[in-house]
RNA sequence: GGCCCCAUCGUCUAGUCCGGUCCAGGACGCCAGGUUCUCAUCCUGGAAACUGGGGUUCGAAUCCCCAUGGGGUCACCA
């Protein structure tokens, strides 16, 4: 028991899982795996106003989608559970536990009830700021009521918080990535342990739960570094173990600012301003709210409103949450690989001498370690993520790609999903093969595949393409037959080509070109325009095979009739 | 402002702990060629960095100090 490694991820359920949170969870998971330990998930829902069970559920689903499975914690399908009997995993359900600890602390004088009004504290804080001093709340011993008196007033129902009586001594935090970090005596003040609503503060909940749940290693973002002395002091006062800390560098966006949901609003606001849009372009936002949002850089729209607004402007919102990336067509292996490299690297060379940086979850679980976590913050480079994603998609078999793509379409584009399903598995696989090298995300696989998703009679042929490629001569110098002539001659060949499959069709096209003393480069354009309506498409062998014989002939027939 | 952290190509980084093998390697992006029926994919090549100043040392990207820059944090939010 004592040498069992226990890591934990403890999100507060106030929205979707942030990509930075995903990295923390991934590292916690990997560290536990590497050391044969347990990875625990705890829901820190002590902010009654902002927390929701729907968010908690969403975060669980985001983690599961990424393939980050927790050994202990809330149940989601076959993930989670409570083998060591440390539940409940929602802090809101642990109030009696916290209260018991608080009671003991008050009895021992290591904590005290504070009945002062919040407004008074604010005034003191403002005064300190005005005097250019740091505000620390640490009343003289004489100002603290005797425990019995505290109890009396608490029982009388007087509003109050409970504070730690912070020992005035220097604190040192040992961090696995930053080293020793020292804080002078007095840096830690009498911070709040229990709020007026009876819920624990983050600091108190974390320390008590980490102790009770046997957490041995705390991996978290560097934004928590200044919280750590508070936690260490509390642990010492309570006689708890101090876990191993590892504070990882922060992740920034390309502007060098912390990635946040707010930047999605900023991007939309900038687009609105740039386009000179004065009235809400979508019904879901009323005029007054739109104006207020446009004028106030701190205001945020609801997710749905923001997304429809962005869509109306043709704007791609920057992805921030795991759900955003999922919707944008990124896949878990690429996301996990990429975020693992933000602040960590395996330090292993490939046989050719280059750095090894493409790896999977299994590799992470075998190789992740604390010493190789970097100290400096990193920017989230979407273009590199995109390259990873494209490679992951490209490395899939046609069948794997088809399955992943189909799943994505079912969730985010049901009409296209239905069209894809209608092709059947063989033609679907050919489409997958055709589209794979032409997309970097599952979402942008739709564009090169659009020709296969539209009914023959609804295919629109671009005017310019028809005029030039179908009606005009096939040779650049203006000589030779027209594209239409060529298609008429090609039709019989397509009618009799053996199995209507990419390879045989490619061979048939080559043979046709040779027979007419033409190059494939001359034959291709008219056929491409006939089949897809545009001058850009996947290879023609695949395009033909995906459409099938009757559809292909029908499309040629239609373009000839224009 | 107080406290704390950080500092290698545009970006992510290797190298730093145990100074020499580094006129600094890789990846993404960028640029130029090539393959190709279009678009992509793919292949080859190229440009591109040790923040500045002081030390220590025969020798510093690597150790020390200062400066500068960047960041985090200062709640009855987590």
pLDDT in tens, A30-43: 999 999 999 999 99
* Residue whose CA lies closest to nucleotide B39 C1': A536
pLDDT grade, residue A266 (50/70/90)?
Answer: confident
Q: Tell me, what's the pLDDT at A2?
A: 57
Is the pLDDT confidence value at A476 over 90? no
The CB density around residue A20, as the number of other CB atoms within 10 Å, is 23
Q: Report helix, strand or coil for A180.
A: strand
A375 CA to B63 C1' in angstroms comes to 19
A530 CA to B31 C1' in angstroms comes to 36
Cα separation of A478 and A486, whole Å? Answer: 14
When pLDDT is averaged across residues A221-240 and rounded to a whole number, the result is 97
Q: Which nucleotide is nearest to A91 (CA to C1')?
A: B78
DSSP state letter for A518: -
Cα separation of A503 and A257, whole Å? Answer: 51
Q: Which nucleotide is nearest to A390 (CA to C1')?
A: B41
Q: Which nucleotides of B are covered by protein (CB under 7 A)?
A: 1-8, 10-15, 25-29, 36-42, 70-78
Q: What is the pLDDT of residues A508-517, one digit of tens each?
A: 999 999 999 9
A347 CA to B19 C1' in angstroms comes to 21
Q: What is the pLDDT of residues A282-332, one digit of tens each?
A: 999 999 999 999 888 888 888 889 999 998 988 888 899 999 999 999 999
DSSP state letter for A371: T
Who contacts A465 (Cβ-Cβ below 8 Å, separation ≥6)?
A: A529, A533, A534, A535
This model of the complex carries an ipTM of 0.95
Q: Which nucleotide is nearest to A520 (CA to C1')?
A: B37
Cα separation of A505 and A538, whole Å? Answer: 14
| Residue A375 designated active-site | no
Q: Strand A179-183 and strand A171-175: pairing?
A: antiparallel
Q: Which nucleotide is nearest to A117 (CA to C1')?
A: B76
Which secondary-structure segment (H or E) carries A74?
strand A73-76
Q: What is the pLDDT of residues A323-363, one digit of tens each?
A: 999 999 999 999 999 999 999 999 999 988 899 999 999 99
* Residue whose CA lies closest to nucleotide B76 C1': A195
A385 CA to B48 C1' in angstroms comes to 21
A375 CA to B67 C1' in angstroms comes to 22
Cα separation of A525 and A554, whole Å? Answer: 17
Q: Catalytic: which of A230, A261, A298, A440?
A: A261
């Amino acid at each position: 028991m004592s040498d069992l490694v226990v890591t934990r991820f403890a999100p507060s359920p106030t929205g979707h899982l942030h990509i930075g949170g995903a990295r923390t969870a991934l590292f916690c998971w990997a560290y536990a795996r590497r050391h044969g330990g347990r990875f625990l998930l705890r829901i820190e829902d002590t902010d009654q106003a902002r927390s929701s069970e729907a968010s908690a559920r969403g975060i669980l689903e985001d983690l599961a989608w990424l393939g980050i499975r927790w050994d202990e914690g809330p149940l989601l399908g076959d993930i989670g559970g409570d083998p060591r009997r440390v539940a409940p995993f929602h802090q809101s359900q642990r109030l009696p536990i916290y209260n018991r600890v608080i009671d003991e602390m008050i009895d021992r004088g290591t904590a005290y009830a504070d009945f002062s009004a919040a407004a008074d504290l604010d005034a003191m804080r403002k005064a300190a700021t005005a005097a250019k001093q740091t505000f620390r709340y640490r009343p003289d011993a004489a100002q603290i009521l005797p425990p019995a008196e505290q109890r009396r007033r608490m029982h009388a129902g007087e509003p109050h918080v409970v504070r730690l009586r912070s020992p005035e001594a220097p604190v040192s935090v040992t961090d696995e990535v930053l080293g020793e970090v020292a804080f002078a005596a007095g840096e830690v003040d009498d911070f709040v342990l229990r709020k007026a609503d009876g819920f624990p503060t983050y600091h108190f909940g974390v320390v008590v739960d980490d102790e009770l749940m046997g957490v041995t290693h705390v991996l978290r973002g560097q934004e928590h570094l200044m919280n750590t002395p508070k936690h260490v002091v509390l642990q010492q006062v309570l006689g708890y173990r101090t876990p191993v800390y590892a504070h990882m560098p922060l992740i920034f966006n390309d502007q060098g600012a912390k990635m946040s949901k707010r930047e999605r609003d900023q991007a939309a606001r900038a687009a609105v301003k740039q386009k000179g849009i004065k009235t809400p372009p979508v019904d879901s936002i009323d005029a007054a709210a739109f104006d207020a949002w446009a004028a106030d850089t701190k205001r945020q729209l609801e997710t749905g409103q923001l997304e429809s607004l962005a869509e109306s402007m043709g704007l791609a919102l920057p992805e921030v949450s795991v759900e955003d990336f999922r919707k944008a067509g990124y896949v878990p292996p690429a996301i996990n690989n990429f975020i693992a490299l933000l602040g960590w690297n395996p330090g292993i060379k490939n046989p050719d001498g280059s750095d090894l940086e493409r790896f999977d979850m299994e590799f992470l679980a075998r190789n992740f370690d604390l010493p190789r976590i970097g100290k400096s913050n990193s920017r989230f480079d979407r273009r590199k993520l995109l390259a990873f994603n494209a490679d992951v998609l490209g490395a899939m078999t046609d069948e794997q790609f088809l399955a992943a793509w189909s799943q994505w379409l079912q969730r985010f584009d049901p009409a296209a999903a239905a069209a894809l399903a209608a092709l059947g598995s063989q033609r679907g696989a050919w489409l997958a093969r055709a589209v794979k090298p032409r997309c970097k995300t599952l979402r942008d696989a739709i564009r090169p595949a659009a020709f296969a998703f539209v009914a023959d009679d609804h295919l629109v042929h671009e005017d310019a393409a028809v005029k030039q490629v179908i009606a005009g001569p096939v040779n650049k110098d203006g000589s030779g037959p027209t594209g239409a002539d060529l298609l008429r001659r090609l039709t019989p060949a397509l009618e009799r080509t053996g199995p209507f499959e990419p390879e045989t069709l490619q061979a048939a096209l080559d043979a046709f070109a040779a027979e007419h003393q033409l190059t494939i480069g001359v034959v291709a354009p008219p056929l491409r325009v006939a089949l897809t309506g545009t001058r850009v498409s996947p290879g023609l062998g695949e395009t033909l095979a995906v459409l099938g014989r009757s559809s292909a002939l029908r499309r040629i027939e239609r373009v000839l009739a224009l």
